[in-house]
Amino acid sequence: MTWAAKLIKHNSENRIAVYFEKSQDLIARIKQIEGAQWSQQKTVWHLPDTLENRERFKIKPLSYSLASPEGIVQIEKFIQWMRSKRYSESTITTYSEALKSFLIFYREKSVVEINNEDVIIYNNEYILKNNLSASYQNQIVNAIKLFFKTIRETKIEVDKIHRPKRAKLLPNVLSKEEIKLILDAHINIKHRMMLSLIYSCGLRCGELLALQPVHIDSMRNIVLLKNSKGKKDRIVPLSPKILEMLRLYFVAYKPITYLFEGQLKGQPYDNRSLQQVLKQAVKKAGITKPVTLHWLRHSYATHLLESGTDLRYIQELLGHNSSKTTEIYTHVSTKSIQQIKSPFDSL
């Protein structure tokens, strides 16, 4: 990834500006960072000035910016190993940068001498002391475990490296009435079609933008999702109502390469533009919640569960590896909760 970063002032607030060549992948990754914003005035993406973001974009004193020569060699070997295993470039960047942070901390120590106690010390003296997030710590753990599995001579016992306890956050879910208001907000058939397809099939944003016309199987009423998250293909059912909408959309827009193309024919629709499409729909619908595209996917799963769909099928439809990931929707489903009567009602 080619980028540059520097500290800036934006609306009297310290921010980190990140400059890079326009790329859908990089834009999508920047958006995943909490607090990321686009400045129309400065024409740059900028992030909160936190220690974690300074670490992520290497904004720190020079003496602390490099691992030892041995560490640099090991990081490069790790990158080559991941590439040979066909890890995505996004994962390679995340893991290599996370490992680099760890090896910078131990740049005075030989890699083969690092042990499990050193991991605990790093967590306490670096992660916790600098108030870095549990998700960032988890990235470090993932990188360390994977890296030391590839090293022959090591004192690290990989299976004994523990992960941070994650906060149990519930997914954000909209009611069916709110979903209908959002989907009906746009007159533009293309905008309505994109949002409707995300909700009706439970798609991730990237999955929608990667769809091609050939992935719509109107004879079998299914959508084929190719090379989704985790490099897995899967199929999801296609609603007859959505199929009718798609036929009208095809006549109006005649997509060539991608189902939803941007201003240039043959190029996928812009991720940032799709976010704006949703933002406008939410505003028109009069909804004040901070709705994101992923809320539509969460709502799809929850509404399926509430209508009686088996959790195992929902897991398949969403493309989850583990049933535990899907089980979180049982905590936001109101089907059973609404049947419980408060003791207050019988007073």
Per-residue pLDDT, averaged over 263-285, amounts to 91
Is the model's pLDDT at 10 over the cut of 60?
yes
From the list 60, 289, 294, 331, the catalytic residue is: 294
Q: Give the H or E element holding residue 328.
A: none
In whole numbers, what is the pLDDT of the chain averaged over residues?
86
Q: Which helix (H) or strand (E) holds 297?
A: helix 293-306
pLDDT exceeds cutoff 50 at 61: no
pLDDT at 131 over 90: no
Is 19 among the residues known to form the active site?
no
Give residue 337's pLDDT.
64
User: By percentage, how much of the chain surpasses pLDDT 90?
Assistant: 41
Q: Which candidate in 145, 204, 272, 279 is catalytic?
A: 204
Which residues, listed in sequence order, are joined to residue 114 by a DSSP beta bridge?
A: none
130 against 66, higher pLDDT: 130
Active site residue 312: no
So what's the pLDDT on residue 223? 92
320: annotated active-site residue: yes
Q: Give the pTM.
A: 0.64
Query: Residue 230: what pLDDT?
Result: 63
Contact between residue 148 and residue 112 where contact means Cβ atoms under 8 Å apart: no
The one catalytic residue in 122, 126, 269, 329 is: 329
Residue 56 among the catalytic residues: no
Greater confidence (205 vs 171) lies with 205
Cα–Cα distance between 256 and 29 in angstroms, integer? 27
Strand order in the sheet with 222-228: 216-217, 222-228, 232-237
Model confidence at 1, pLDDT cuts 50, 70, 90, reads very low
Query: Minimum mean pLDDT among 164-168, 270-274, 308-312, 339-343: which range?
Result: 339-343
CATH topology for the 66-160 domain: DNA polymerase; domain 1 (1.10.150)
Which pLDDT value is given to residue 311? Answer: 87
Q: Is the pLDDT of residue 323 over 90?
A: no
pLDDT at 196 (0 to 100): 96
The yes-or-no verdict on residue 346 having pLDDT over 70 is no
Mean pLDDT of 119-138: 87
Higher pLDDT, 157 or 335: 157
pLDDT at 43: 78
- From 29, 107, 190, 229, the catalytic residue: 229
Phi, psi of 55 (to 5 degrees): -65, -45
Q: For residues 239 and 234, what is the distance between their CA atoms, to the nearest angstrom?
A: 16
Higher-pLDDT residue of 179 and 55 is 179
> In which residue ranges of the chain is CATH 1.10.443.10 found?
176-331
pLDDT at 119: 93
What is the pLDDT confidence band of residue 154, given thresholds at 50, 70 and 90?
Answer: confident
Cα–Cα dist 171/121, whole Å? 33
Q: Where in the chain is the domain with CATH 1.10.150.130?
A: 66-160
pLDDT at 168: 72
What is the DSSP secondary-structure string of 196-254? HHHHHHT--HHHHHH--GGGEETTTTEEEEEEETTTEEEEEE--HHHHHHHHHHHHHH-
Which H/E stretch holds residue 119? helix 116-122
Name the CATH superfamily, with its identifier, for domain 176-331. Answer: Intergrase catalytic core (1.10.443.10)
65 has pLDDT over 60 = no
d(CA 20, CA 44) in angstroms, rounded, equals 9
pLDDT at 62: 37
CA distance 116 to 99: 15
What count of other Cβ atoms lies within 10 Å of the Cβ of residue 27? 17
Confidence of residue 340 (pLDDT cuts 50, 70, 90): low
User: For residues 327 and 311, is the Cβ–Cβ distance under 8 A?
Assistant: yes
Q: What average pLDDT does range 268-282 have in this prediction?
A: 92
Query: Catalytic: 77?
Result: no
Q: What is the pLDDT of residues 197-244, one digit of tens each?
A: 999 999 999 899 999 999 999 999 999 998 667 667 898 999 999 999
Establish whether 294 is a catalytic residue. yes
DSSP 8-state symbol, 117? H
The predicted structure's pLDDT at residue 326: 84
Q: How many percent of the chain have pLDDT more than 70?
A: 91
Q: Write out the H or E segment, with its range, that includes residue 82.
A: helix 69-84
Please pick, among 191, 297, 298, 303, the residue that the annotation labels catalytic.
297
Other Cβ atoms within 10 Å of 152 Cβ, number: 5
pLDDT at position 344 over 70: no
The answer to which of 97-101, 176-180, 247-251, 337-341 has the lowest mean pLDDT is 337-341
Q: What is the pLDDT of residue 2?
A: 56
